[in-house]
Structure 1
Amino acid sequence: MHMNAMEPAAAAGTGAGTGEGVELVYEVATADLAQAIRVRTRATPALRRQRWLMPLLGGLSALLGGSALLSGQPAGSKAVLFLGLGLLLCGLCVFGPRLQARAFAGMLAKAGQTRAVVDGSGISVSTRQYSTRMDWTAQPAYAETDELFLTLDLHRRAASMTILPKRGVRHPADVDRLRELLDANLRRL
């Protein structure tokens, strides 16, 4: 799954690590997208600040609202508002990536099967709906989890990422080859 809200596909360029490419064939699941959103939140500076600021504000708001309710102060509706806002912010921190991923469920279903080819010059991604080719500069960093590789553009407010689930490779050895290609061309997070 490739999500690029800010910039068109870059023209193919040359990069280190040329050689045989790795092909992945998969359907992006909402769990993949939720995991990718969590990884992107940890990796992107602006989102990293949001990651600690939202629980802090939510906790403070809930604490203020709860203590005002318990103390029996006359402004009960404001206390309930602060308590509710605090709980909402804390809930969004926990369930936010899953909710965001579910919002894209229809788009994921329409895209259907995805074919990605990663080679020395970049990444090609094709679905029923689109086909794009990016050179390595379009998303210059990557992260790896147990289930997937995620290429990212870490610019402020960038929404560009490509999800490459490991289950999409044809042979288990292709996971190592894919990691080699990514290491040769991108900065590992």
Structure 2
Amino acid sequence: MERRAETAVGEHVELEYQLTREDMRQALKARAKASGRARRMRGFALVGVAALVGGSAVPLAHGEAPDTGTWVIAGLVVVSLFVLQPWLLARQFHKIASRNGACHSRVDDCGVTVENAGGSSRLNWTAAPRYAETADTFVLLSGDDNASCLTVLPKRGVRTPEDVDAVRALLDRQIRRL
């Protein structure tokens, strides 16, 4: 019980925010960089596109007309994988998150508490042992190779501009930055 009293009066930063699609897009992009599975999937897709393009370049070397169907398929793969899929995923995550309304979060030396109309959750630092910082967010990630869980803390949710540095300092002190 004493420990809770110490934490309540210790250093902490509070955030108030409504998650946006852009928050989710940045968070999912950061998660994809941290996820081994996502990196492998992008690598395999790029190898496949390179094989399609390379295979259709052979006729060009022989002075023949290129196979436009192959180029179209390669282009569709690139657009769907690197443009459409991230946009759709961010849209879906935002739709789910926005159902619970505005969030109130507290970051302290013990972890992060997030409260909204749907309930509250408390993450200690072992549940989110690493984080990524984007232009507008801090993204807390689980420790597994696929970064299966994430918590998004938009920087605009702090009360003062100095609080962004305070959040960063708390995170740097407790968990690993990617």
Q: Report the TM-score range of the alignment, normalised by the length of the smaller protein.
A: 0.7 to 0.9
1:57 matches 2:41: no
CA distance in 2, matches of 1:144, 1:112: 23
CA distance in 1, matches of 2:127, 2:49: 35
TM-score of the aligned structures, taking structure 1 as reference length: 0.77
* Residue correspondence of structure 1 range 69-88 to structure 2 within 5 A: 71=64, 80=69, 82-88=70-76
Check whether the contact 2:17–2:104 (CA below 8 A) recurs between aligned residues: yes
Superimposed CA distance per residue, residues 53-100 of structure 1 (whole angstroms, 9 cap, x where no aligned partner): 322322322443576799469xx8xx83x5454223211332122221
1:180 corresponds to which residue? 169
CA distance in 2, matches of 1:153, 1:137: 8
Superimposed CA distance per residue, residues 136-189 of structure 1 (whole angstroms, 9 cap, x where no aligned partner): 000100111221111111412342011111000011111111111101100011
1:165 matches 2:154: yes
- Any stretches of 5+ residues in structure 1 without a counterpart? 1-12
| Secondary structure of the structure 2 residue equivalent to 1:111 | coil
| Secondary structure of the structure 1 residue equivalent to 2:138 | strand
1:6 corresponds to which residue? none
Which structure: greater helix fraction? 2
Check whether the contact 1:65–1:83 (CA below 8 A) recurs between aligned residues: yes
CA distance in 1, matches of 2:30, 2:73: 26
Check whether the contact 2:31–2:147 (CA below 8 A) recurs between aligned residues: no
Q: 2:82 aligns with which of 73, 94, 97?
A: 94
Identity of aligned residues (%): 35
TM-score of the aligned structures, taking structure 2 as reference length: 0.81
| Secondary structure of the structure 2 residue equivalent to 1:87 | helix
CA distance in 2, matches of 1:106, 1:89: 25
Check whether the contact 2:19–2:94 (CA below 8 A) recurs between aligned residues: no
Letter in 2 for 1:150: V
- Any stretches of 5+ residues in structure 2 without a counterpart? none
Superimposed CA distance per residue, residues 38-59 of structure 1 (whole angstroms, 9 cap, x where no aligned partner): 1111122222222333223223
1:117 corresponds to which residue? 106
Check whether the contact 2:49–2:74 (CA below 8 A) recurs between aligned residues: yes
User: How many aligned residue pairs are there?
Assistant: 168
Distance 1:117 1:68, change over 3 A: farther
Distance 1:72 1:44, change over 3 A: same
Check whether the contact 2:113–2:121 (CA below 8 A) recurs between aligned residues: yes
Q: Which runs of 4+ in 1 moved over 3 A?
A: 62-73, 82-85
CA distance in 1, matches of 2:56, 2:92: 30
1:5 corresponds to which residue? none
> Larger relative contact order (C-alpha < 8 A, sep ≥ 6)?
1
